[in-house]
Chain A
Amino acid sequence: MIEIRFHGRGGQGAVVASELLAQAAFLDGKHPQSFPFFGVERRGAPVTAFCRLDDRAVRLRTSITRPDIVVVLEPGLLRAGGVMDGLPPGGLLLVNSRDDPARLPAPPEVRRASVDATAIAVAHGLGTPMLPIVNTAVLGALAAASGAVRLDALERAIDRFVPARPAQNRAAARDGFGAVRLAPAEVAVRAPPVRAGRTLRAGLELPDGPLAVVSSATIATSAWRTMRPEIDLGRCTRCNFCWKFCPDDAIELNAEGYPVVRLEHCKGCGICAVECPPGTIAMVAEG
C-alpha cells in the first residue's frame, strides 16, 4: 500500500487532486481510497487530503500520519509546519516550486522532487494568477516521480472527472510529468525519529466548559497568502481607505496616520490595492 498526503490551500485543488489520483489509480486496476481532512475549508487556508493506493481493498479508515509520499501544492506551506510530519527516511517529498529539489527544506533522508506547476497552470489558463489551480500539473509530476500511477490513467481520469477544461488539464498533467526534477536522499538511512504524538490529556478537566478566551490574534494567517501588499508610503495620502476596507483587520494606522500591514495576519486578498485611491499599494508575489 502507498500512502500519499496532499497539502495545499483551500481553492487550489488539493482535495480534488487526491480524488483524481484515486480515480486514475482505479482505472489502473488499483484499490484506491481518498478523503479530505475532516475540517472546515477556507479559500487560501491550508488544507490536507489523503490518498491510499493498494492492490486489494484498503482496510484502514484513519488519517495518514506516516505517509510514503507528501505532495505540497504550495511552497509557502513548507513554512507552515506539519507538512513533513511522519514522512519516513526514503519517503518522497514533491513540491510545486521553481526551486531545485535539492534546495527544498527537508530532512536529509527524504527524497525530494519539484515541479513548477504554477507556471504550467498559468500557461494553460487554469485558475487565476493569484490562485492558480495546479493540481493536474502536480499529479503529472507525481506520476513521473513516484510511479504510483501511470500518466495515461491520469489523463483518462482527467477526461472523465474534470468538468472544466479537460484538454488543458491533460496538457498540464503531461507537462508536469515531463518537468519534474528529482533529488535523492542526502543520507541513506537514519533511525526514524520517534514522535511524541498528541496524547489525550487523560482525566484532564476543562472545568469552564467550552468557553474560549484567547484572542485569535495569536493565530498567524500569513501562510494563506500568495501575494503581499507593498505600500509606497511616499505617495500615501493617509486617506485610510486600505484600513477601512480590510476584512482581516490586518492594516493598522501608525501615530502619523500611515498604514502598516500586519504581515502575520494579512491573507493577501488585494482589496487594499484595488481600493487605494492614488494606487500606492502593489500586490507582490511571495517568494
Chain B
Amino acid sequence: MARLTIPPQELVHPGHAACPGCGAALAMRLLLKGLGSRTVVSVPACCWTVIATPYPTTALGVALLDNPIESTGASISGIRAAVDALGLPDVTVVGFAGDGGTADIGLQALSGMLERRTNAIYVMYDNEAYMNTGIQRSGATPEGAWTTTTPVIGVGRGKPERKKDIMAIVLAHRPVYAATLNPSFPEDFVRKVETARGIPGPRFFHIFAPCPPGWRFTSEATIEIGRLATDTGVFPLYEVEDGRLRITRRLSSLKPVEEYLSRQGRYGHLTGAERERIQAQVREGWERLRREESVGPPPGPVRPGVAATSGPEPATVDSG
C-alpha cells in the first residue's frame, strides 16, 4: 500500500453542495487537512456559502462563521481578538473568500487585516469570476475569458482587461507568508498550509480553483486543467516568506498556453493573435517571477510581526 502523502483526516464532510468536479471544494478539503480541527473559518457570500449546506447542516468539521461578502478581513481580525481574549491561542483563524469577495469588494478589509498584522490566514480561492451568482466577470477574471457579463457576441470578445494581480497587492503589505496553491498538486498544497500554520502573523493563500460550469469544461477534467495551469505558467506555484520568493514547482520549460486554453469553452472564441498575446503575457510573468526569485528580498524590515493587540497577555504568538 502506498504511503499517504497528505493527512488522512477529513474535515470537509461528504454531502456538501458543490458542483461535481468543484475545485473550490477540493481546496477546502486540502486546506483543512493541513490546518486541523482547532480552526475557525469565516466565509463570506461565495460558492462556499452554499457548498456548506443549509441549516441545520454544515459541511465542515470545524467552526464556521458566515459573514457578508466584503468584510472577511475584518471578521477574522475579530475572531483572532476573541480567541486571544478567551485564552485560546492555539486556534488557527482562517478567512476563506472567493476572488470577487477578495480582489474586488473585499479588498479594503483584506488590506486592513494585513496592515494591522492580524494573526490569521486569508485564503482567496480563485475560480476567476462570480460563480455563485452565475459566472459574472470579476477583477480576477483573466483577459479574453467569456463570462455572462463579458459575452462573446457582437463586439464582445470576452473580458477585455487583464487579471488583477492579487499577490502583488498582498505582498505590498509584507505578510509573513504568502503562497500560491493548486489542488492539482496536493502535496505542495498541504506542505504550504502546514508551513504557514507555524508562522504567526498575517498570511495569505491564493488558491487556484477550476470551475467546470463557469470555465466550460467537463467535471472530470478539473485536476488536469489545474495541472496545465501551473505547467503552462498561467498559475505558477511559489511562496514568499519574509520577503523571499521561492518557486515551488520548477519548470525547465513551459508547456504552450494553448494546451490550457483549448480545454476550456470560455476561451473557445479566441483568435490566434489573441492566444499569442496571452502566451506572451504568461511568458513575461514567468520570467518576472524567476527574476524576483533570483534577486532576493527587498531591503528593510520585512516582518513587522504580529498585531500588537493590547491586552493582559503579551501579543499572542501561536502555533497555528
Contact = CB atoms under 8 A, between A and B. Distances in A.
Indicate if A touches B (C-beta under 8 A): yes
A19 to B, nearest CB: 15
A217 B18 contact: no
Contacts of B213: 11, 43
Interface stretch (A64-72, A151-159, A208-216): A208-216
A257 interface: yes
A219 B15 contact: yes
Contacts of B4: 240
B25 interface: yes
Interface string A36-77: 000011111100000000000000000000000000000000
Interface stretch (A140-148, A193-201, A264-272): A264-272
B1 A218 contact: no
A132 to B, nearest CB: 12
B220 A271 contact: yes
Interface size range of chain A in the complex: 35 or more
A40 B17 contact: yes
Question: What 9 A-B pairs are tightest by C-beta distance, nearest first?
Answer: A270-B220, A257-B1, A269-B20, A265-B14, A219-B15, A216-B15, A269-B21, A269-B219, A216-B59
B285 to A, nearest CB: 27
A45 B47 CA distance: 14
Contacts of B13: 215-217, 249
B26 A245 contact: yes
A44 B56 contact: no
A250 B55 CA distance: 22
Contacts of A43: 19-20, 212-213, 219
A44 B219 CA distance: 10
B64 to A, nearest CB: 8
A262 B16 CA distance: 13
A244 interface: yes
Interface of A: 10-11, 40-45, 128, 130-131, 210, 212-221, 224-225, 237-240, 244-250, 253, 256-257, 262, 265, 267-271, 273-275, 283
Given A213-B58, A215-B15, A240-B2, A270 B219 contact: yes
A224 B55 contact: no
A241 B138 CA distance: 33
Size bracket of the B interface: 35 or more
Contact of B19 (A42, A210, A220, A245): A42
Contacts of A42: 17-19, 50
A20 B222 CA distance: 31
Contacts of A224: 20
A249 B29 contact: yes
B310 interface: no
Given A249-B29, A269-B21, A216 B16 contact: yes
B19 A219 contact: no
Nearest to B24: A247
A45 B219 CA distance: 14
A242 B119 CA distance: 35
A109 B183 CA distance: 51
A249 B14 contact: yes
Given A11-B213, A240-B4, A269-B219, A247 B58 contact: no
B25 A247 contact: yes
Contacts of B10: 249
Contacts of A40: 17, 50, 132
A214 B14 contact: no
A247 B26 CA distance: 4
B14 A244 contact: no
Nearest to A274: B220
Given A244-B186, A248-B25, A275-B223, A212 B19 contact: no
B113 interface: no
A268 B20 contact: yes
B14 A269 contact: no
B219 A212 contact: no
Interface string B28-58: 0100000000000000000000101111111
B252 interface: no
B105 to A, nearest CB: 19
Given A42-B19, A45-B17, A273 B220 contact: yes
A212 B49 CA distance: 13
8 contacts: A212-B53, A218-B57, A221-B16, A240-B2, A240-B4, A245-B26, A247-B18, A270-B20
B53 to A, nearest CB: 4
A121 to B, nearest CB: 15
Nearest to A252: B10
B31 to A, nearest CB: 13
